[in-house]
């Protein structure tokens, strides 16, 4: 809505610059606005032809508004009229080259018609808006046999992050095309022999063996690295996988701890290793304590509440006692977020921890006074604790904040009926039973 208003503002300025009479300006602006909204309405109903007619009326009145051309492009694209879509996206770009979505529209055209050569300069531009588009650029270079350019972008990606499986595949494909796979292995083997204290040579060789399904050779190389460079932490990322495959819990735990505690290993890798070890630990629950022991090492890692991630994992597995523990830690370790609150309170319901549920929900009402779920949980907990009067008070307060949520509204009425029964208030029970029947 904000975006639409901004474009209306643009064409109102355009009209004003033509120095028309005020009443003419107002009439023209209203006409454009009506046509534009009609176009959006038709587009939402998939009446693309009608949307185009309305947008063309807008263009007649305000020919320098890039949004009109962008919307024309999206409608033509929906009709698979690619030439018209391309033309209008290009006009939008010419008028406002700094708008990413206009470039995205043009890319969509070229992608659908598989004109990869035309798509390349568009995606090169898009990478200036979003670095994640570099993966698309690699794919386009590969599809147009520009392998050196693809390799250059792959090197840029690899220098800042871990390559995805698709990018790793392209990397190997480039090596194969350049007829360098066999020499590369020979070079790496020689490098490991000549420079046994260079960690990266081992890591590259481990990667080659792993992607070539030569797991035993990869494992042997990893063990050799651990022997030659005992201070290497990265090697334990590979060793962990091997030890898990062998069901060697002692060595797997040692490697897991080594990676998590390391200041040299990237957070994304630590997170992945935690997930791998967690799945392994579900087969041997005594290992859960090993996970708890290293969680403090995640405390200072920005952007990751590891306690919440663990809680959600156990919640999804219906292991509510463990989920409860980690949700409580999650709330204690970070700013409270609504999702964590709801999941924790729901977990209390599963574990029948009604004292905790009542206390936590009531305490959070000061932070979220209009969140009806909190009143519901207080009411339900107090009903379970047979504090029917207090349950009634919170439920009736919270009911006022329920908006267009029939399921939650029904839940409130059911709890209020239980409160009425506890208070032996027949009239109250009949009243809320009637409301519940109406909702149903």
CA distance 298 to 283: 24
Same domain, 320 and 398: no
The answer as to whether 282 is a domain residue is yes
For 197, which DSSP code?
Answer: T
Radius of gyration of the chain (CA): 31
pLDDT at position 269: 84
The answer as to whether 133 is a domain residue is no
**Sign of the C-alpha dihedral computed for residues 226, 229, 233 and 238 taken in this order:** negative
CA distance 89 to 352: 58
CA distance 191 to 196: 8
The answer as to whether 193 is a domain residue is no
Domain holding 261, by residue range, is 233-297
Domain CATH for 404: 1.25.40
Same domain, 438 and 362: yes
Same domain, 319 and 419: no
Model pTM greater than 0.85?
no
Q: Do 99 and 127 form a contact (C-beta atoms < 8 A)?
A: no
Half-sphere exposure of 288 (CA within 13 A, CB side): 15
Mean pLDDT of 81-109: 94
Q: Give how far Cα 385 sits from Cα of 194, 270, 373, 391, Å.
A: 73, 43, 18, 9
Q: What is the pLDDT of residues 49-92, one digit of tens each?
A: 999 999 999 999 889 999 999 999 999 999 999 999 999 999 99
- The distance in angstroms from the start CA to the end CA of the chain is 35
> How many other C-beta atoms are found inside a 10 Å radius of the C-beta of residue 148?
10
pLDDT at position 153: 87
The answer as to whether 198 is a domain residue is no
Same domain, 2 and 102: yes
Q: Which two tokens stand for residue 116?
A: 């990869």
Give the range among 58-62, 68-72, 137-141, 148-152 with minimum mean pLDDT. 148-152
For 163, which DSSP code?
Answer: P
Mean pLDDT of 20-36: 67
Cα 306 versus chain centre, distance: 16
Q: What is the DSSP string of 308-366?
A: HHHHHHHHHTT-HHHHHHHHHHHHHHS---HHHHHHHHHHHHHHT-HHHHHHHHHHHTT
Domain boundary among 94, 109, 124: 109
CA distance 372 to 331: 20
Same domain, 20 and 60: yes
pLDDT at position 387: 96
Domain boundary among 93, 109, 125: 109
pLDDT at position 346: 94
Same domain, 371 and 332: no
Q: What is the pLDDT of residues 311-351, one digit of tens each?
A: 999 999 999 999 999 999 888 765 578 889 999 999 999 99
pLDDT-derived band at 2 (thresholds 50, 70, 90) equals: very low
pLDDT > 90 fraction of the chain, expressed in percent and rounded: 53
pLDDT at position 69: 94
Mean pLDDT of 245-250: 92
Same domain, 47 and 92: yes
pLDDT at position 27: 61
Is the pLDDT assigned to residue 4 strictly greater than 50?
Answer: no
Domain boundary among 88, 109, 130: 109
pLDDT at position 262: 87
The answer as to whether 281 is a domain residue is yes
**Sign of the C-alpha dihedral computed for residues 195, 246, 304 and 154 taken in this order:** positive
Same domain, 103 and 1: yes
Same domain, 439 and 361: yes
pLDDT at position 28: 57
pLDDT at position 303: 62
Same domain, 365 and 331: no
The answer as to whether 28 is a domain residue is yes
Same domain, 336 and 439: no
Q: What is the pLDDT of residues 380-415, one digit of tens each?
A: 999 999 999 999 999 999 999 998 889 999 999 999
Q: Which two tokens stand for residue 67?
A: 């949004």
Match 């904000």 to its residue by tokens.
Answer: 2
Q: Which two tokens stand for residue 220?
A: 């042997």
Among candidate residues 325, 302, 298, 301, the one with its CA nearest the CA of residue 313:
325
Give the range among 9-18, 37-46, 103-112, 210-219 with minimum mean pLDDT. 9-18
Q: Can you give the length of the chain in residues?
A: 440
Same domain, 27 and 79: yes
The answer as to whether 190 is a domain residue is no
The answer as to whether 169 is a domain residue is no
> What are the backbone angles phi and psi of residue 220, rounded to the nearest 5°?
-65, -40
**Sign of the C-alpha dihedral computed for residues 18, 19, 24 and 27 taken in this order:** positive
**Sign of the C-alpha dihedral computed for residues 302, 305, 306 and 307 taken in this order:** positive
What is the tally of structural domains in the chain? 4
Q: Which two tokens stand for residue 388?
A: 């029917």
Domain CATH for 82: 1.25.40.10
């Amino acid at each position: 809505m904000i975006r639409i208003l901004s474009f209306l503002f643009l064409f109102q300025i355009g009209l004003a610059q033509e120095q028309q009479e005020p009443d003419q300006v107002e009439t023209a602006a209203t006409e454009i606005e009506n046509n534009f909204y009609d176009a959006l309405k038709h587009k939402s109903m998939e009446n693309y032809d009608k949307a185009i007619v309305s947008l063309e009326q807008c263009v007649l009145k305000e020919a320098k508004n890039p949004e009109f051309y962008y919307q024309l492009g999206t409608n033509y694209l929906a009709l698979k009229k690619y030439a018209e879509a391309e033309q209008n996206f290009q006009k939008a770009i010419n008028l406002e080259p700094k708008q990413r979505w206009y470039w995205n529209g043009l890319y969509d055209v070229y992608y659908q018609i598989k004109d990869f050569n035309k798509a390349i300069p568009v995606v090169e531009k898009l990478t200036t808006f979003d670095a994640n588009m570099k993966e698309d650029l690699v794919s386009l270079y590969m599809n147009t046999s520009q392998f050196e350019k693809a390799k250059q972008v792959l090197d840029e990606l690899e220098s800042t992050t871990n390559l995805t499986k698709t990018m790793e595949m392209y990397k190997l494909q480039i090596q194969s095309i350049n007829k360098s796979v066999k020499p590369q292995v020979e070079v790496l083997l020689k490098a490991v022999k000549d420079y046994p204290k260079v960690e990266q040579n081992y890591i590259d060789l481990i990667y080659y063996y792993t992607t070539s399904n030569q797991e035993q050779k990869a494992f042997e190389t990893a063990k050799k690295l651990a022997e030659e460079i005992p201070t290497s932490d990265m090697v334990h990322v590979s060793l962990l996988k091997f030890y898990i495959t062998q069901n060697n819990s002692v060595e797997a735990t040692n490697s897991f701890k080594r990676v998590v505690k390391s200041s040299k290993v990237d957070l994304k890798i630590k997170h992945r290793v935690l997930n791998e070890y967690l799945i392994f630990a579900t087969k041997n629950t005594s290992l859960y304590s090993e996970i708890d022991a290293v969680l403090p090492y995640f405390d200072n890692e920005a952007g990751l509440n590891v306690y919440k991630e663990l809680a959600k994992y156990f919640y999804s597995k219906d292991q509510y006692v463990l989920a409860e523990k980690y949700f409580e830690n999650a709330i204690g370790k970070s700013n409270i977020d609504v999702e964590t609150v709801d999941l924790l309170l729901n977990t209390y319901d599963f574990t029948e921890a009604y004292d905790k549920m009542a206390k936590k929900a009531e305490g959070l009402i000061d932070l979220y006074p209009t969140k009806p779920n909190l009143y519901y949980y207080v009411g339900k907990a107090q009903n379970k604790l047979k504090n029917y009067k207090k349950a009634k008070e919170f439920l009736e307060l919270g009911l006022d904040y329920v908006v267009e949520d029939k399921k939650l509204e029904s839940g409130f009425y059911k709890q209020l009926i239980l409160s009425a029964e506890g208070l032996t208030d027949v009239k109250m029970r009949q009243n809320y039973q009637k409301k519940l029947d109406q909702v149903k």
